[in-house]
Every structure is written in C-alpha cells, then in structure tokens.
C-alpha cells in the first residue's frame, strides 16, 4: 500500500468516525422529542454503534501501516468533519475563534504528516516474547 493510499484510508476512517457525533446528535434530538422509546432515537443509537464498528474495521487496517502517534494526530481532523456536518446538517454556527482553532489543528496535522517518513511501516511481529500469533 502506497503512502497516498495509506493516508486516504486513514482519512476515510476519520471521516467515518466523524459520523458518530452526527448520529449521537440526531439521537439526542430524537430523545428530546420522544424520549427513550422514540423509534428515531433507537434507530440513530443503532446507527451510532454500527458506525463505530465500521470505523473500528478501517482503523485496525490503518494502524497496521502507520505509526500510532502519526495516525492519532491525523485523527484530530475529525474535529473539522464534525464542524462541517454541524453546519450543513444541523445548521449550527461557527465562531471566528472556532475557525482559527480548526485551521491551527489542520496546520498541526500537516506538520506531523510532512515530518513522517513515508516509507515507515510497521513490521508484523511473529516471535514469541516480542509478539506471536494470536
């Protein structure tokens, strides 16, 4: 897997993760309208859990290929995705300071990514003591 593919998969996983907050917010709105037994609340809560499962699937593939500290730094981009969904789906407002904060986060992610050796990959561990086969 090339470095571009790795980062694309990483950011796909992050984007999927950002939908968790969308479903959580939708579930919270449904809860306020109809309580715990509201069918929309139950549906969005299920989607939230399913979304976490999909994210977990991609994340496990991603961290096999990318150092954890780099992957986790890139995960902060979910803040930006969350804001995009908040504005376009829930019609929420962003303050100028929110936008500045997000720009700083993005700058940090770029610095981390550009500082990372693109040929860096994590070898599989096969020796007992150092690792092994599960």
Partner 1 sequence: MFYMMILFVATFFSAFSQILLKQSAMREHRSFIFEYLNWRVILAYFIAFVVLFANTYAFTGVDMRYGAVIDTFTYVFVMLLSYFLLKEKFNKGQLIGNLIIITGVAVYTLG
Collapse the DSSP code of 128 into the 3-class scheme (helix H, G, I; strand E, B; otherwise coil) and give the result. strand
By CB under 8 A, tell whether 105 contacts partner 1: yes
By CB under 8 A, tell whether 112 contacts partner 1: yes
Shortest CA distance to 73 belongs to which of 7, 3, 25?
A: 7
Which of 37, 91, 93, 97 binds partner 1 (CB under 8 A)? It is: 97
Size of the site for partner 1 (CB under 8 A): 44
Window 43-82: contact mask with partner 1 (x via CB under 8 A): -------------xx-xx--xx--xxxx-xx--x--x---
Q: Please calculate the CA angle 32-19-63 and round it to the nearest 5 degrees.
A: 140
Q: Which is nearer to partner 1, 50 or 110 (CB)?
A: 110
Q: Give kind and range of the element (H or E) at residue 87.
A: helix 78-88
């Amino acid at each position: 897997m090339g470095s571009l593919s790795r980062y694309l998969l990483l950011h796909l996983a992050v984007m999927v993760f950002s939908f968790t907050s969308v479903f959580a917010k939708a579930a919270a709105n449904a809860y306020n309208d109809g309580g715990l037994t509201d069918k929309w609340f139950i549906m969005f809560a299920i989607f939230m859990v399913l979304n976490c499962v999909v994210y977990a699937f991609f994340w496990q593939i991603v961290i096999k290929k990318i150092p954890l500290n780099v992957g986790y730094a890139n995960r902060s981009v979910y803040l930006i995705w969350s804001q995009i969904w908040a504005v376009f789906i829930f019609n929420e407002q962003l303050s100028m300071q929110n936008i500045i904060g997000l720009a700083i986060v993005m700058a940090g992610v770029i610095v981390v990514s550009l500082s990372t050796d693109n040929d860096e990959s994590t070898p599989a561990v096969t020796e007992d003591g150092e690792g092994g086969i599960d």
